[in-house]
Amino acid sequence: MARIGITGAGIIGCAAAVQLIERGHDVTVFEKDIAGLPASVGNAGILAVPEIDPLARPDMLFSAPKWLADPLGPLTLRWQDLPALAPWLLAFLMAARPVQVKRSREALLGLMRDALEAHEGLAATAGIAGHMKKSGALTIFDSEAALNAAFAHEQKNAALLGHEVEKLGSAATRARVAALEGNFAGGIFSSGYQTFLDPLALLRSLQDFVRQRGRLVDAEVARVTQRADSVHIVTTDGESEPFDKVVIASGVWSRHLVRSLGLNVLLETERGYNTTFTDPAVTLELPVFFSEHGFVATPLKNALRVGGAVELAKPETPANFARAAAMRQKMRRYVPSLPESGGSEWMGRRPSTPDSIPVISLHPTDPRIAMAFGHGHLGLTLSAITGRSIVSLLEAGEQEHLAPFSIRRFQ
Ligand SMILES: Cc1cc2nc3c(=O)[nH]c(=O)nc-3n(C[C@H](O)[C@H](O)[C@H](O)COP(=O)(O)OP(=O)(O)OC[C@H]3O[C@@H](n4cnc5c(N)ncnc54)[C@H](O)[C@@H]3O)c2cc1C
């Protein structure tokens, strides 16, 4: 049994905490914004097992100039933040090389194979049930060419992961989701997706488990310091607490803690926006991705959430909620019954690495310190398997199958 301190009570920190507590460790989680709504609660609520393709790819770079031309489109860059983002952007361009795309796909595939089973285990440990729905998901396409190209690719991914995909014409797509009315070529149904019906309730349940069986401390971590016999977590109010081991799991803010330990990391925010309609008059039978427009609509418990897209910006740059409005407007082309007002808008920060591979790693020279961040678009999906991997890193040391996720790649 070890005394373990964790920085950050988002979905990654909590998934690690719950599984470490289950193994008998004495766990304390520090959270700077206990009532906050980070990425871990405002996300689209989708277990996205089929998504093994990294974001940096040749086809993505090909589409980027068109997207960047529309300030409210699927991808935007806050140009005033360009100097701060430049090293990450450069590494992102390099990550689009076919050799790196292959490496990232293989790494993500390895995690995705166990992602669902890990979530089932996490829920059983935390005493949570009925929070996931075997919904599958639909992706709709405006053009036949895009539909056919995506279907060929999705079939390959489905064969690797063992789920089903179906290509549907527009009438068959409408038969699955009655509210879809607009003009589009068709869709792909994938059984590999599931829905977390209430991401906020899920996080709060995990936090409650930590409160009851460990400690959840309302404090901001200023730094992590290494001593001969312990690792200290030092908070901004000057408290310093010794631990046997420490896990850094603070989303994008992990970069400050990691850098203060003398390590390099490229971690920036891909910010996303959405609107949540509570008790909406219109709802969908399952999540619908509007992939050519970069957003998704998810039916949650008593709510419909519409959003997504990527805004590359510094974490602290003010939000631009016109992006949330633009996605609602686009969705009305397909679902005219979507209300024009009444939803609540949100902006969240995906903590992203340039190669789309999270950092799930021990400190290269101090195995008392583990790191779990950089899950980008997939942190909810990968939270349980990340927590399980952190348990095995802290208990058994470095492992070959986790080598692709090492922080060493940034040193
Ligand atoms: C619009 C959008 C849609 C998404 N949809 C999905 C989806 O459908 N499926 C999916 O799998 N993923 C999705 N994601 C991604 C997913 O939400 C994130 O990858 C995930 O939430 C990251 O979790 P995290 O715990 O690393 O970070 P966070 O959620 O950011 O949590 C980090 C926590 O650490 C705390 N913290 C930070 N610094 C300190 C400090 N110094 N001291 C103490 N506490 C600190 C923060 O307050 C925060 O609570 C989506 C993201 C967005 C933005």
Joined tokens for residue 270: 């891909």
pLDDT at position 67, please? 87
Residue 126: pLDDT over 90: yes
Count CB neighbours of 307 within 10 A.
27
**Lowest mean pLDDT across 70-74, 121-125, 137-141, 300-304:** 70-74
Cα of 218 from ligand 1 centre, angstroms: 17
Q: How far apart are CA 328 and CA 360, in angstroms?
A: 35
**Proportion of the chain above pLDDT 70, given as a percent:** 100
121 lies in some domain: no
Last residue of a domain, one of 326, 352, 378: 352
332 and 363 share one domain: no
What's the confidence (pLDDT) of residue 291? 86
Is the confidence at residue 290, as pLDDT, over 90?
Answer: yes
Q: State if residue 363 touches ligand 1 by the CB under 6 angstroms criterion.
A: no
What average pLDDT does the segment 279-299 reach?
94
- In order, the DSSP letters of 232-277 are EEEETTS-EEEESEEEE--GGGHHHHHHHTT-----EEEEEEEEEE
Structural domain count of the chain: 2
Res 292 pLDDT > 90: no
Q: 159-189, pLDDT tens digit by residue?
A: 999 999 999 999 999 999 999 998 899 999 9
User: Each residue of 12-58: pLDDT tens digit?
Assistant: 999 999 999 999 999 999 999 999 999 999 999 999 999 999 999 99
Closest CA to 254 of 2, 5, 7: 7
Residues 410 and 265 sit within 8 Å (Cβ to Cβ): yes
Domain-embedded: residue 124: no
Q: Which of 312, 330, 352 is the last residue of a domain?
A: 352
For the Cβ of 16 lying below 6 angstroms from any atom of ligand 1, the answer is no
183/280 same-domain check: yes
Answer yes or no: is the C-beta of 250 below 6 A from any ligand 1 atom: yes
According to DSSP, the β-strands at 215-218 and 268-278 are unpaired
Q: How many CB atoms lie within 10 A of CB 320?
A: 18
Q: Is residue 371 part of a domain?
A: yes
Residues 6+ away with beta carbon under 8 Å from 322: 72
Please give the average per-residue pLDDT across 188-204, as a whole number.
Answer: 98
In one-letter notation, the amino acid at residue 175 is A
Give the count of beta carbons closer than 10 Å to the beta carbon of residue 342.
11
Q: For residues 87, 248, 8 and 352, what is the CA-based torsion angle, rounded to 10 degrees?
A: 30
Q: Is residue 366 located within the same domain as residue 401?
A: yes
Mean pLDDT of 280-306: 94
Residues 283 and 374 in one domain: no
342 found inside a domain: yes
Q: Which of 352, 367, 398 is the last residue of a domain?
A: 352
Q: Do 105 and 240 fall into the same domain?
A: no
Whether residues 56 and 185 share a domain: the answer is yes
Which of these, 376, 192, 179, lies nearest to 282 by C-alpha position? Answer: 179
Alpha-carbon dihedral 1, 391, 36, 235, rounded to 10 degrees: 50
Centroid of ligand 1 to alpha carbon of 330 (angstroms): 26
In this prediction, residue 331 has a pLDDT band, given cuts at 50, 70 and 90, of very high
User: What are 213-255's pLDDT values in tens digits?
Assistant: 999 999 999 999 999 999 999 999 999 999 999 999 999 999 9
* Residue 257 CA to ligand 1 centre (angstroms): 16
Residues 21 and 60 grouped into a single domain: no
Give yes or no for residue 50 CB within 6 A of ligand 1.
no
Whether residues 133 and 59 share a domain: the answer is: yes
Q: Which residue has the tokens 């049930």?
A: 129
Return the pLDDT at 340: 81
Average pLDDT over residues 247-268: 97
Best CA proximity match to 48, nearest among 292, 287, 347: 287
- In a mutational test of the pocket of ligand 1, which residue from 11, 43, 55 has the highest number of ligand atoms less than 8 Å from its CB? 43
Residues 370 and 346 in one domain: no
> Domain check: are 273 and 298 in the same one?
yes
| Cα gap 319→299, rounded to integer Å | 24
The DSSP element (H or E) to which 365 belongs, if any, is none
Average pLDDT over residues 116-131: 97
> Cα(118) to centroid of ligand 1, in Å?
18
Any domain includes 117: no
pLDDT at 276 over 90: yes
Minimal-distance CA residue to ligand 1 atom 15: 377
Distance 333 CA to ligand 1 centre (A): 30
Give CA–CA dist 104/229, Å, rounded.
37
In whole numbers, what is the pLDDT of the chain averaged over residues?
A: 96
pLDDT band, residue 341 (cuts 50/70/90): confident
pTM for this one?
Answer: 0.97
Asked whether residue 236 falls in the same domain as residue 341, the answer is: no
The CATH number of the domain holding residue 258 is 3.50.50.60
Range with lowest mean pLDDT among 260-269, 334-343, 360-369 = 334-343
pLDDT in tens, 89-98: 999 999 999 9
Per-residue pLDDT, averaged over 265-270, amounts to 97
Ligand 1 touching residue 13 (CB < 6 A): yes
What's the CATH number where 61 sits?
3.30.9.10
Task: Compute, in angstroms, the gap from residue 351 CA to the centroid of ligand 1.
Answer: 7
In 303-378, which ranges are continuous DSSP H helix? 322-334
pLDDT of 69 reads: 85
pLDDT of residue 13: 98
- pLDDT at residue 63 tops 90: no
Q: Which residues contact 329 (CB under 8 A, 6 or more apart)?
A: none
- Per the domain annotation, does 46 fall within a domain? no
d(CA 88, CA 315): 14
Residues 186 and 296 in one domain: yes
On whether residue 242 sits in a domain, the answer given is yes
Ligand 1 contact, 294 CB (< 6 A): no
Domain assignment of residue 315, yes or no: yes
**Domain carrying residue 253:** 3-40+201-264+356-410
Question: What is the predicted pLDDT for the residue at 50?
Answer: 98
Q: In this structure, are strands 75-77 and 231-235 parallel, antiparallel, or unpaired? A: unpaired
161 with 177: CB under 8 angstroms? Answer: no
